[in-house]
Structure 1
Amino acid sequence: MNKLLLYITILILAVACQSKYPGVSEEYHTLLDSALVKAGGNAAELQKALAEAPADEKEGMAFLISYMPERDLTTLTADFLLENNQYAYKARREFPWCAALPDSIFLNEVLPYANISENRDRWRPDFYERFSKYVKDKDNMVDALMNIAHNIPTEVDVEYNTKRSRVDISPLQAMKEHMATCSGLSILLTDAYRSVGIPSRLAGTAMWTNYKGNHTWSEVWVEGEWKFIEYYVDTLDQSWFVADAGKADPDNMLHWIYAASFKPTGLPYYAAVDAPYVADVVNLSNLPEDVRARYERMKERASGLKPYIWGHNVTQRYIDLYEKSVQNSALAEDELLANVVVLADENTSSSESRLSCRVDVQKDDEKVNFGYSPRKTDDLNHFLQFKLKKNTSYQFVVSNPEQAIEKTFAVTTGNDAQQDIQLILSK
């Protein structure tokens, strides 16, 4: 009898465990437990969303609830989440490029209802109706996404304007105001892509290395790799900002290029407009006075703030894009390609001698260009490249405040199409 009671008890417990989140993979159970606790009084809405999600959409609902920011756990309704899932999975069933996506890409770059800190609009039904007509006759994702890019300004009637109500303006608010800046325009474009099952995410930087500001744009996942595109489209991986992005400092988080992620990555998306905690990773003493004042104010506001927008460091990809564009662009008859490296000593064959420094190129005290030299961890065939005039005298100013480096080199270019320039600090 005791054995029978024990067996029945074990069976009841097993059934209870299995029915806690019916139809949901066990990998989400602990995450869901934690999310429901954080949701407090809104937990019933999340439980309703999970219970009412169709069987083939439950993983998506579990994913969203497991990883959504706490601000959303306490406010989003079941109706909001169910509608979002319904239209995301509708796109997955309808469009072949979405049906072919790996689950991980669909869940993180198609399914999410928001990008960064914008208001949580119910944009999916409207955007599906608006943008599905641009892709229904397209056989591949590239044609589909380019057709949306060419038509979105007219479709949503939103133009660039700094008079918008907020930087991270939500899509429906931007359409109401008919204006947005780069963050809002990128949110519009990314949501348009997601509405028809095209994986998309925001990317951007908190500050360019020339300290002329920041920027946000969109990325799309095409044939297994990420490419960037803008609201005012040129084409994939081409835009005015490539030179600025390509001069990002890989050793300074303020200047990194970030791509946003709904699922936590362990790295905050420091390009977010409401991410004053970026000041915590910035050496303020090295910034220009006006920029330093801005980040000192941000740091004051950052007390107790926890990151909830996550990201990936994609800096190197943009550096590589820029360097490829320099290499592939035609040289004028009087130009050469300079391959620059900064070295601590004359041991030029060892990567250990390489130093990552800012290199400013000047001619007659006028700035020509700048960039960041390769690090110890970079391939020995990797160089900082500049297009320069042949048979011309330049000043190369090498600096690294963290290592108290500040040195100027006089360099005269030759007459060949390429020239290696080694800036050796020990000389």
Structure 2
Amino acid sequence: MKFIWILYAVFLSYSNLCFGIESIGVKGLSAKQSSVLVEPLKRAGANSKELIRSIESISPSRVDGLLFLIEHMPDRDLKTLSSEYLIENVNYAYKARSESDWAKSVPQEIFFNDVLPYASINERRDRWRKDFHARFSPLVKKAKTLEEAAQILNKEIWKMINVRYHARKRPKPDQSPYESIDAGFASCTGLSVLLIDACRSVGVPSRFVGTPMWANKRGNHSWVEVWDGNAWQFTGACEYSAAGLGHAWFKGSASKAIKEDPKHAIYASSWKRTKTNFPLIWDLGIDYVFAENVTDNYTGNLGNRVFIQIFDRPGGERIATDVEVWMDETKVASGRTRDSTNDTNDMLELSLKKGSNYVLKATLKKDEDWSKSFSVNGGKDEEKQFFLSE
């Protein structure tokens, strides 16, 4: 009997918490949105009131972005960040997104993960977003593409903020933007954080990338990747190249990285939690910075070309629909298949890894989800046909 009463008490506590969360905001949150907040609010402790206040105050159209930040926020931020900080960060991220066609074109999942976050690694949480938007948005006002905007920033901002590289004069490796500006010097890590924040302040997706140790054991390095609308392209912070993104002195060293060796692999930061921690060599005890192993992007082991077609039935018509490819609960690719109005040789082309198992997912109608498992066998150009009737 005592056990039953304990279960009942737990149920009531959980129900009350969920009810309180669902009532947040003018129109309230959906059950799905509410469920996202249960664990973060618990970990936030006394600071949960600041998180709730930020949700109550933000525009309903921006709530999902704020919830994404909170869902994946490390405990240090859950317990300390103010509602004013979060609201300003989110509002100016959306403001930048609305100011150019190239910023508007960024897919929501990339905007959430690589524009909206206020930090890249473990740096001090400066309130940089509004200030950087005011400083740097005029520079990219006439830019026509994401790459052009990123290139302009990497060429121009260093003269404006008077920061340059120095391995010994910088106070510490993991400097925040204002710590680097105050010092006038930064390491490759501090410079990368600065360029990332400058890019994000105007709506350009960017992320922190690095290796703990080059394969030739000549030290570590950090740099920046920018989403150019089609793929992630690398650049060195404070190392503008007129040749464009994808050109830097470290390209050769990066091509020798070793994916299977954590010390010699290349990692890209992710605000969204992943199964991989970013190895921060200045403090290997930090476990709240997440990452993707992106070594293959630098070594050329990008996988096989796989062509995807969906038919209504064997011998039937091709179906055009948006699809996603998943592996181990992680989305690894997406695109749109072609239908009979396209040339028969025009097929959705994806780069997938030989010998790996995947799941192809599609939403054919409003409430009709479809999925099919498949594997990549290793042919250089491999065609996969799927039939809705099977």
Q: Note the residue ranges of structure 1 that are not aligned, 5 or more in a row.
A: 1-11, 277-301, 323-350, 353-376, 382-427
How many residue pairs get matched?
Answer: 289
- CA deviations over 1:96-139 (Å, ceiling 9, x no partner): 11212111011110000000000000001111011111111122
2:80 to 75, 80, 97: 75
2:255 is equivalent to residue 252 of structure 1:
no
TM-score (norm 1): 0.64
Q: Distance in 1 between matches of 2:22 and 2:52?
A: 16
Match of 1:167? 173
- CA deviations over 1:321-342 (Å, ceiling 9, x no partner): 99xxxxxxxxxxxxxxxxxxxx
1:105 to 110, 121, 129: 110
Match of 1:151? 156
1:19 to 2, 20, 23: 23
Q: Distance in 2 between matches of 1:59 and 1:46?
A: 13
Q: SS state of the match for residue 254, structure 1?
A: coil
* Kept in 2: contact 1:160–1:179 (CA 8 A): yes
Match of 1:422? none
User: How far apart are 1:37 and its partner, in Å?
Assistant: 0.7
2:200 is equivalent to residue 194 of structure 1:
yes
- CA deviations over 1:220-270 (Å, ceiling 9, x no partner): 111221001112112311111111111011221111100000110111112
User: How far apart are 1:177 and its partner, in Å?
Assistant: 0.7
- CA deviations over 1:359-409 (Å, ceiling 9, x no partner): xxxxxxxxxxxxxxxxxx99698xxxxxxxxxxxxxxxxxxxxxxxxxxxx
Between 20-29 and 191-200, report the one with greater CA deviation.
20-29
Structure 1 pair 167–16 and aligned structure 2 pair: CA distance change class (3 A): closer
Q: Note the residue ranges of structure 2 that are not aligned, 5 or more in a row.
A: 1-14, 303-353, 356-375, 381-390
Structure 1 pair 26–214 and aligned structure 2 pair: CA distance change class (3 A): farther
What is the letter of the counterpart of residue 166 of structure 2? N
Match of 1:320? 300
Q: SS state of the match for residue 220, structure 1?
A: strand
Match of 1:287? none
Q: SS state of the match for residue 300, structure 2?
A: helix
* Kept in 1: contact 2:196–2:224 (CA 8 A): yes
Q: SS state of the match for residue 156, structure 2?
A: helix
TM-score (norm 2): 0.69
Match of 2:362? none
Structure 1 stretches of 4+ with a deviation exceeding 6 A read 12-17, 377-381
Q: Percent identity?
A: 39
Q: SS state of the match for residue 124, structure 2?
A: coil
* C-alpha RMSD over aligned residues: 2.6
User: How far apart are 1:147 and its partner, in Å?
Assistant: 1.1
The structure whose Rg is larger is: 1
Q: Distance in 2 between matches of 1:25 and 1:252?
A: 43
What is the letter of the counterpart of residue 240 of structure 2? V
Structure 1 pair 269–318 and aligned structure 2 pair: CA distance change class (3 A): same
User: How far apart are 1:28 and its partner, in Å?
Assistant: 3.6
* Kept in 1: contact 2:147–2:245 (CA 8 A): no
2:184 is equivalent to residue 178 of structure 1:
yes
Counterparts of 1:362-377 in structure 2 under 5 Å?
none
User: How far apart are 1:54 and its partner, in Å?
Assistant: 1.1
Structure 1 pair 71–378 and aligned structure 2 pair: CA distance change class (3 A): farther
Q: Distance in 1 between matches of 2:219 and 2:231?
A: 28
* Kept in 1: contact 2:120–2:269 (CA 8 A): yes
Q: SS state of the match for residue 101, structure 1?
A: coil
